[in-house]
Amino acid sequence: MRILIGTNNRHKIQEIQDILFEYELVTPAELALDFDVEEDGKTFEENAEKKAMFFCKKSGLITIADDSGLEVECLDNAPGIYSHRYCPKPHATDADRRQYLIKNLLDKPRPWCARFYCAAAIAVPGKPDILIAQGICPGEIIDEERGSGGFGYDPIFYIPELGKTFSELSESEKNNISHRGKAMEKVRVLLENLGEY
């Protein structure tokens, strides 16, 4: 079964390929689908559904898409769905976004409790309903960058139980506990039961 990963984000593609290794996963680039879907939903689920449906219609393949982000309790769950667009600096880098987040946290009491949230959607050709799975990984934001792996907010997202940031974990360690890893494990179950859908 060929399944399209409905994103052009190479980091997301790699993580999904690592987690759902038993499936024949293809990317939009491999199918010459050079599109970006505007993420204008009000929730992670809406954005994931929109991307899954869009790429499913364009490709005719079962499509998995996700939307994810960081929610910080003392910032009223910001940056949330705006995690990638959180920093107002034009052409902001991941480092810019991390620095901007820490700047906004410095006058808040610690620990800075946070969670990564992932909503994954599966669109199936000819089926009107989108299947949804969620994953959450709780942790804290720290004000020093640690580790060299991962991407985005990973160097400042700290898992107290492990004493490490996401960036200090191996890919397999991260995928075992991450929001995306948890969501994709649920996606695996949904894919196994597609015949009943």
**Is 151 annotated as contributing to ligand binding?**
yes
**Is 84 annotated as contributing to ligand binding?**
no
**Is 58 annotated as contributing to ligand binding?**
no
**Is 104 annotated as contributing to ligand binding?**
no
Structure-block tokens of residue 5: 């990963």
> Long-range contacts for 164-168 (Cβ within 8 Å, ≥24 apart)?
166/139
Residue with the two structure tokens 């309790």: 73
Is 34 a residue of the active site? no
**Is 166 annotated as contributing to ligand binding?**
no
Instruction: Report how far apart, in Å, the C-alpha atoms of 10 and of each of 144, 150, 163, 175 are.
Output: 25, 11, 27, 16
Determine which one of 34, 67, 96, 129 is catalytic: 67
Q: What is the DSSP string of 49-67?
A: HHHHHHHHHHH-SEEEEEE
**Is 67 annotated as contributing to ligand binding?**
yes
Please give the span between the terminal C-alpha atoms of the chain, in angstroms, as a whole number. 16
**Is 152 annotated as contributing to ligand binding?**
yes
**Is 181 annotated as contributing to ligand binding?**
no
Is 51 within 8 Å of 64 (Cβ atoms)? no
Residue ranges of the annotated binding site are: 7-12, 38, 67-68, 151-154, 174, 179-180
Active site residues: 67
Residue ranges of the annotated binding site for Mg(2+) are: 38, 67
Residue ranges of the annotated binding site for substrate are: 7-12, 68, 151-154, 174, 179-180
